[in-house]
Amino acid sequence: MTILDGKALSTQLIDSVKEKSAQLSPTLAVILVGENPASMAYVRNKRRACERAGIEYQEFNFSTDITQKELLDKVEELNQDDSINGMIVQLPLPDHIYVPEVIRAINPKKDVDGFHAYNLGKMFLSSEFEDLPPATPSGIVKLLDHYDIPIQGKEVVVVGHSNIVGKPISTMMLNRDATVTTCHIFTQDLATHTQRADILIVAVGKEKLITADMVKDGVVVVDVGMNRNSEGKLCGDVDFEEVSKKASYITPVPGGVGPMTVAALILNTVHATERQKQ
């Protein structure tokens, strides 16, 4: 069994753009609403990665009582500001904010999270048009590629159908000619699907959703989950201790997909800047 070391690869990828970044001097703007501890931790990691890559980082903090209009106005201001090359709005947002409208407001050329319908739609066409792909799916593909894990012709089972992970990673796997099954909360008998997987990608947010009896020997496991267990420790959606005994490759939590999301964001930011300056 090999651990898919997202932490190490992330550092390597971030270091690989330093030179380009020094030429382009990109700026990333991050909008954070409220004080959700997980969001604050993610944003801190993004800031550190920017510092390492030589990307200027600007953070805009708002309290949870911000209105839809105030948030949209901030996005528009950053759209108009030529010194800002990339912009992300950290999710989740408070319940009174209508997220699709916020994402739609971001200039697709600055949408380094790859959440805008324009970027998602382009990705749908083929891997060639994955120009600003969503950060987490993009990070997963880079991790599999780095370890030379073949995708073409493989049975890929994705558990979770969110717009930011499940749906786009299913599309990216299809772009690479996998046979893709996307499971979700309404899937009947999840185990019959996961047991067929050559590559199992889980993005649900439920501790120990995937147990050893649900996977076959030699499976490649990518765990996108980020949960706290009863002892307060970070854990994924997969019972790592038991499933790792059957897996050929598996991502740890933390240190697997999380850092790869950050690396993909950095690469998208440099790429977006390059495009804008062409």
Which residues of this protein are in contact with ligand GUN, per CB under 6 A? 88-91, 113, 135-136, 164, 261
Q: In this complex, which beta carbon is closest to ligand GUN, that of residue 171 or of residue 261?
A: 261
- 74 belongs to the catalytic site: no
Least distance from ligand GUN to the Cβ atom of residue 253, Å: 14
Closest CB 90 distance from ligand GUN, rounded Å: 5
Between strands 234-235 and 227-228, the pairing is antiparallel
Residue in 13, 27, 7 with CA at minimum distance from that of residue 112: 27
Kindly tell me which of 90 and 194 has the beta carbon lying closer to ligand GUN. 90
Active site residue 90: yes
Q: Which of 5, 109, 110, 113 is catalytic?
A: 113
46 part of the active site: yes
d(Cα 116, Cα 121) in Å, to the nearest integer?
8
Single-letter code of the amino acid located at 3:
I
Nearest approach in angstroms of CB 114 to ligand GUN is 9
- Give kind and range of the element (H or E) at residue 56: strand 56-62
Question: How many Å apart are CA 39 and CA 176, to the nearest integer?
Answer: 31
Residue 71 DSSP one-character state: H
Q: What is the DSSP string of 98-130?
A: -HHHHHHHS-GGGBTT--SHHHHHHHHH-GGG-
Nearest to 115 by CA among 225, 227, 31: 31
Q: Which is nearer to ligand GUN, 9 or 89 (CB)?
A: 89
Q: Output the smallest distance, CB 278 to ligand GUN, in A.
A: 26
Instruction: Return the number of the residue (55 or 215) whose C-beta is nearest ligand GUN.
Output: 55
In this chain, which residue has its C-beta nearest to ligand GUN?
91
Q: What is the CA radius of gyration of the chain?
A: 18
Active site amino acids: 46, 90, 113
